[in-house]
């Protein structure tokens, strides 16, 4: 089978390099970063840290080069989903496309361009160290399931999950993947922007009792929006928040949104807190704290361009 990774940043590279270990999987990667693409084609894609892996695969900056694929795995930042999938949709005329991105609304954006869509959530994380070389920070599970309005056949979801698992990225196929997805979104929306607005690492956010209450307020709104849609969270996001605050886990971790703000890059706030607010509005659930945090982070972004 052939799999194309759409957006070969840190998370995309983890999937690409691991899947490339399998003899029965032909891996392609589409990314706009030419140096990264050139390095992958010349020397392979190197992972180090949580696992030492070298993947041999074809990378390209030109979507037209992609051959017909059985599967796509979209791993761009959420604001680039639509453009990346529009450019590559021809490769998936007979295939299925999964998202492993952060935030809400990616499946809907993908479904505008391809027919069969797989909802997904992934917990592994890393960062690009150099072109062709990615630091694998954290291992973790991935969950895939059919995107309800435009589902991929469940057998295909299982086929992709099996390949990922065999490649070294443990992945489960489930009928309803919204639970893990909303748990991660609620976690991210309740903690990332707080780090971004205050400059504090995850552990320092969680250890301040007053700030922890704010985090819980954001979590509660997210849970209410999930419940209104009949989504059962697979675990309590609060547990994940406290677990991540442990010194041996991610106490000193600067949320990606804090890193974005420090580098003055557009954040994923529209797809995290913005997503919770939009889904809340659709289901009649008020989300005033998420709305306030969304407005403040957009204000931060506006302060760079005024």
Partner 1 sequence: MRVVVAGAGTIGSLFAAHLARVADVAVLTRREEHARTLNEQGLRVSGRSDFTARVTASTDPAEFGDADLVVLACKGGDLEPLATSLAGHFANATVMTVQNGLGAEDVVAVHGAWPLLSAVTFMSGTRHEDSHVEYVLDTATWIGPYRDTTQADAESIADLIRAAGLKAEAFDDLRPAQWSKLIFNATVNAVAALTGLPHDFHFAAGMLGGLVHDLTDEGKAVAAAAGVALSEDPWEMNVHATQHGHAHYPSMLEDVNAHRPTEIELITGSLVRAAKQHGVAVPLHTTLYRLVKAKEASYS
Contact positions vs partner 1 (CB under 8 A): 194, 197-200, 204-205, 208, 210-211, 213-214, 217, 288-289, 291-296, 298-300, 302-303, 306
Of 204 and 265, CB closest to partner 1: 204
Contact 257, 268 (CB under 8 A): yes
Cα 208 to chain centroid, rounded: 28
In the chain, the N- to C-terminal Cα span, in Å, equals 49
Of 159 and 204, CB closest to partner 1: 204
Closest approach of Cβ 204 to partner 1, in Å? 7
Closest approach of Cβ 276 to partner 1, in Å? 14
Please give the backbone phi and psi of residue 95, each rounded to the nearest 5 degrees, phi first. -110, -175
Residue among 20, 17, 122, 125 at smallest CA distance from 74: 122
Please give the backbone phi and psi of residue 236, each rounded to the nearest 5 degrees, phi first. -80, 125
What's the half-sphere exposure (Cβ side, CA atoms, 13 Å) at 142? 34
Closest approach of Cβ 210 to partner 1, in Å? 5
Contacts of 198-202 with CB under 8 Å at 24 or more apart are 199/258, 201/251, 201/252, 201/253, 201/254, 201/258, 202/244, 202/245, 202/250, 202/251, 202/252, 202/253, 202/254, 202/255
Q: What is the rounded CA–CA span in Å between residue 75 and residue 267?
A: 15
Closest approach of Cβ 194 to partner 1, in Å? 7
Residues catalogued as catalytic: 184
Q: Enumerate the H helices of 8-153 as residue ranges.
A: 10-19, 34-43, 81-88, 106-111
Residue among 144, 107, 105, 140 at smallest CA distance from 126: 140
Of 205 and 257, CB closest to partner 1: 205
* 284 CB neighbour count, 10 Å cutoff: 8
């Amino acid at each position: 089978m052939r799999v194309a990774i759409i957006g070969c940043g840190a998370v995309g590279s983890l999937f690409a390099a691991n899947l490339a270990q399998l003899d029965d999987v032909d891996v392609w990667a589409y990314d706009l970063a030419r140096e990264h693409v050139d390095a992958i084609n010349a020397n392979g894609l190197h992972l180090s840290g949580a696992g030492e892996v070298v993947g041999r695969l074809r990378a390209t900056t030109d979507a037209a080069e992609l051959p017909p694929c059985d599967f796509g795995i979209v791993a761009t930042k959420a604001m680039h989903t639509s453009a990346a999938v529009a450019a590559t949709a021809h490769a998936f005329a007979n295939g299925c496309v999964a998202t492993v991105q952060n935030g809400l609304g990616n499946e809907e954006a993908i479904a505008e361009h391809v027919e069969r869509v797989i909802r997904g959530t992934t917990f592994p994380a890393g960062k690009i160290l150099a072109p062709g070389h990615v630091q694998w920070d954290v291992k973790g599970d991935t969950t895939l399931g059919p995107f309800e309005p435009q589902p991929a056949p469940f057998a295909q979801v299982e086929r992709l999950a099996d390949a990922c698992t065999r490649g070294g990225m443990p992945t489960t196929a489930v009928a309803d993947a919204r639970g893990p997805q909303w748990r991660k979104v609620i976690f991210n929306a309740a903690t990332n922007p707080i780090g971004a607005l205050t400059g504090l690492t995850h552990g320092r956010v969680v250890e301040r009792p007053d700030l922890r209450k704010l985090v819980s307020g954001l979590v509660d709104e997210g849970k209410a929006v999930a419940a209104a849609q009949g989504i059962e969270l697979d675990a309590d996001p609060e547990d994940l928040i406290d677990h991540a605050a442990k010194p041996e886990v991610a106490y000193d971790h600067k949320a990606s949104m804090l890193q974005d703000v420090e580098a003055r890059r557009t954040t994923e706030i529209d797809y995290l807190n913005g997503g919770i607010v939009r889904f809340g509005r659709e289901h009649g659930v008020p989300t005033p704290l998420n709305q306030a945090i969304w407005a403040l982070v957009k204000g931060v972004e506006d302060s760079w361009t005024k």
